[in-house]
C-alpha cells in the first residue's frame, strides 16, 4: 500500500513538473528582441505607428503616456455606464474590517 502510494506521488510530481514545460515549450522560441519594427507588413495606422517607433522613441513615448490614461479613462467610464445599468449602488459601502 505504502509503495503504491509512493508510486502515485512520484507520478504526480513528474506530471506536475513535466507537463507545464511541454505545454510552454512554444514560448521559448520567441526569445529574440526586435529593435527595429518591420513596417513592410503594415498599412494605414499600423504603418504610421511602426514608423513613429522607428523614427522617434521620444514622440512614441509621449503619445503612449497620453494614450494609456486616456484609453483607461474611456474604458472606465464605459464600464461605469454598464455597472449603473445593472442597478448596483456604486457610491457607498458599509463593510469595514470585520
Partner 1 sequence: MEWLYVLMPIAGVKIFWPGLIILGVGVGIIGGFFGMGGAWMVTPGLNILGFPMAFAIGTDIAHMAGKSLISTMRHGKFGNVDYKLGLIMLVGTVVGFEVGAQMVMWLERLGNVDKVVRYIYLALLAFIAWMVFHDVNKRKAKDRAAIAAGREVDKLATGIDWAKSLHKLKIPPMVTFKVGGFTCSAWLPIAVSFLTGWLAGILGIGGGLIRMPSLIYLVGCPTHVAVGTDLFEVAISGLYGAGTYTYKGRTELVAAVVMLVGAAVGAQVGTVATKYIKGYGIRIVFGIAVVGCMISIILKLMAKWWPAVGAYFDGAATVVILGLVAAMSLYIFFKMVAGAKRELAAKKAKA
Nearer to partner 1 (CB atom), residue 5 or residue 25 = 25
Tell me if 55 contacts partner 1 by CB under 8 A.
Answer: no
Q: Rounded to the nearest whole angstrom, what is the least distance from the CB of residue 73 to partner 1 in the complex?
A: 7
Q: Which three cell numbers stand for residue 83?
A: 455597472
Q: Are 63 and 47 in contact (CB under 8 A)?
A: no
Query: Which residue from 63, 70, 45, 66 is spatially nearest to 78, judged by alpha carbons?
Result: 70
Write out the DSSP string of 36-55. Answer: S--GGG--HHHHHHHHHHHH
Q: Rounded to the nearest whole angstrom, what is the least distance from the CB of residue 1 to partner 1 in the complex?
A: 28
Q: Which residues bind partner 1 (CB under 8 A)?
A: 16-24, 26-27, 30-35, 37-38, 41-42, 46, 49-50, 53, 57-58, 60-61, 64-65, 67-69, 71-73, 75-76, 78-80, 82-83, 86-93, 95-98
Amino acid at each position: 500500500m505504502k509503495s503504491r502510494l509512493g508510486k502515485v506521488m512520484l507520478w504526480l510530481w513528474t506530471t506536475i513538473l513535466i507537463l507545464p514545460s511541454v505545454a510552454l515549450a512554444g514560448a521559448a522560441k520567441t526569445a529574440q528582441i526586435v529593435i527595429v519594427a518591420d513596417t513592410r507588413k503594415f498599412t494605414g495606422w499600423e504603418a504610421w505607428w511602426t514608423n513613429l517607433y522607428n523614427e522617434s522613441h521620444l514622440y512614441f513615448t509621449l503619445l503612449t503616456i497620453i494614450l494609456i490614461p486616456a484609453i483607461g479613462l474611456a474604458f472606465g467610464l464605459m464600464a461605469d455606464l454598464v455597472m449603473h445599468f445593472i442597478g448596483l449602488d456604486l457610491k457607498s459601502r458599509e463593510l469595514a474590517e470585520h
